[in-house]
A and B are shown apart, each in its own frame.
Chain A
Amino acid sequence: MAVSYTSQREIEVYRFSLPVTVLVPLLAVFLQAFIPLRFPFFLHFDLPLLVVIFFAMARRNPTAGLLTGAAVGLLQDSLTGHPIGLYGIAKTVVGYGASSLGVKLDVENAGTRLLITVGFYIVHQVLYFTIARGLVGLDLGWSWPHELLAAVANALLGVFLFALMDKLKQRA
């Protein structure tokens, strides 16, 4: 597994055009809301989370990462029946963490991306459930086997999607 530490100078920082910055997260939220109507198993995936991780790792800027996470999370929250902010907080932390990690790791490698996505999916779910139960008092069920399987499934999809979205990157 090629997880190599890199110095700050070697790191390539990318940026995205405005349409990509706006439309890709919107498309992810839209597809997340629409696809499960036809294919219910898609509820196990979290496309907006994958987009947050990708943007955060590519930009390598913690502030940009956390703001992207917050915006996408809040938009996703708006479509659920729960109070707004649950996904917002979880994705803010993931966006910050992914961009901070992007500074230290070679995130262009497929293996690294797989591991990072598995890790951040679990962090995201733990945060979501903790906030939902602790702050809001929602009675949500937690199942480790389910979450671990979902994490791997999301990571596999993530590796494929990241390769696709790499084409949208522009060197800063």
Chain B
Amino acid sequence: MENLMGRYRNVSILAAAIFLQIVGLAVQVKVKRQADNESSSLIRVWAVTTVTPLEKGIVRLQAGGNRIWSNYLYLRGVRQENRALQQQIQQLQLEQVRLRQDAEQAKRLQALLGFKEQFIAKTAAAQVIGSSGSEQSRIVYLDKGTNQGIAADMAVISSDGVVGKVIRVFANTSQVLLINDQSSGVGAILEQSRLQGILKGKASGELVLDKIMSDEEVKPGEKVLTSGGDQIFPKGLPIGSVTRVSTGGQFLQVTLQPSASLNHLEEVLVITEKQDREPGTASGSTAARAADILAQRLPSVPDKPETPAASSGQSAAQGSTATQNAGPPATKTQLTGAVPAPKPPAATDQDPKTAKPLAAKPVVVPVSKPATNTVQPPAPSQAQPPSQAPGDTPQ
């Protein structure tokens, strides 16, 4: 017997080692299915704690070196670039005026229809410090964790578009599942055709939009946005654009080029807080209040309150549908010119360096503007729709 044991000692150890790991796997899978909780988180914590400090150190050292190089040493062509950027800013400012008017109009229409949207209320900037190192698991590590307010299932975006979602959080590190992982799934919508599907990753790292019926038409180049249906990503964030459409079977195979550079991620934003609210922002509310003021000053308003003691806000509320949906009812103080401070602007603790490009692009769902305490005369574009509201008489 001893000879037999000695002869098969190595094989026995191999069998024992494999058996133990299979049992370990079985336990994890069982626990994961029952409670979506990791039984073996301790070993993950150990591994992450061992590997990530070194990664953090190298990333910071590299970032410092890059900063010194690009900010102080390599300044060739900066003047020329600066001139070109100045011109670009002027052009963009002109375009911004037009877009702002369009946006205001869209918000008023949404307010009229009583739409509710998820707004990004708070974000946290984080740096990508590592990856899983495996083709089969497309995961990156961030340098922020529970101590910095990060939690599981938070959406992660970059200035270009959607990146992924947080799946595990440690004290000062978190694990993000990229949208091109095979186990990832994001609710998506095509910008032009408004067709909805599910975004998945393939083994090769390609992004594929699934569950679009094969009789639908999808054109290459069309942009794909988040649909908000997954309850993780707010609606309207850019995901990518269609590069290839192939038919076969019940559904189309729509291949996408992601907006965010998923292979070269450096800095990202974690959406730490979302808000459900109507799309009327501070400026939209101001427009509504301006409409109330106009309505009160006009003698021919049909739904005038019966008693002077009654709040003028009631009449304003009855005056137009837009007012009901877009902001709080007007009060006496509002009518005399002093307006109670509207909702404070959405707080962000993001790094200004990271926040700048994000704010410059129409990527993020709008964050409310800082409010003013006095009623400004309505801008022409803001004053027009209230005059068209039912009950208002044009001047």
Contact = CB atoms under 8 A, between A and B. Distances in A.
B332 interface: no
A74 B10 contact: no
Contacts of A164: none
Given A34-B131, A36-B131, A76-B134, A66 B13 contact: yes
B51 A132 contact: no
A112 interface: no
B21 A89 contact: yes
A48 B131 CA distance: 14
Given A81-B175, A85-B21, A140 B14 contact: no
B22 A140 contact: no
B20 to A, nearest CB: 9
A142 interface: yes
A57 interface: no
Contact of A66 (B17, B130, B177, B202): B17
Secondary structure of the A contact surface, majority rule: helix
Contacts of B14: 62, 66, 92-93, 96
A80 B139 contact: yes
Interface in B130-163: 130-137, 139-141
A34 B25 contact: no
Contact of A92 (B18, B133, B182, B203): B18
Interface in B103-132: 128, 130-132
How big is chain A's contact interface, by range? 35 or more
Contact of B132 (A80, A132, A139): A80
Interface stretch (A1-9, A37-45, A115-123, A151-159): A37-45
B203 A74 contact: no
Most buried by A among B25, B32, B182, B265: B25
Given A37-B131, A140-B203, A79 B10 contact: no
A43 to B, nearest CB: 5
Contacts of A26: 50-51
B13 A63 contact: yes
Interface in B257-272: 263-265
How big is chain B's contact interface, by range? 35 or more
B48 A79 contact: yes
Interface stretch (B38-46, B291-299, B370-378): B38-46
Contact of A80 (B54, B134, B204): B134
Contacts, number: 148
Contacts of B61: none
B359 interface: no
B133 A138 contact: no
A98 interface: no
B47 interface: yes
A79 B133 contact: yes
B28 A143 contact: no
Most buried by B among A76, A82, A87: A82
Most buried by A among B22, B132, B203: B132
Interface in A119-170: 128, 131-132, 135-143, 146
Contact of A81 (B24, B51, B135, B181): B181
B29 interface: yes
Contact of A29 (B26, B32, B133): B133
23 contacts: A32-B134, A33-B131, A33-B132, A34-B58, A43-B131, A44-B135, A63-B10, A79-B134, A80-B132, A81-B177, A82-B136, A82-B137, A84-B25, A85-B24, A85-B25, A85-B28, A92-B18, A96-B14, A132-B136, A135-B22, A141-B202, A143-B203, A143-B204
Interface of B: 9-10, 13-14, 17-18, 21-22, 24-26, 28-29, 32, 40, 43-44, 46-48, 50-51, 54-55, 58, 128, 130-137, 139-141, 167-168, 175, 177, 181-183, 202-204, 263-265
Interface of A: 26, 29-30, 32-38, 40, 43-44, 62-63, 66-67, 70, 74-76, 78-89, 92-93, 96, 100, 128, 131-132, 135-143, 146
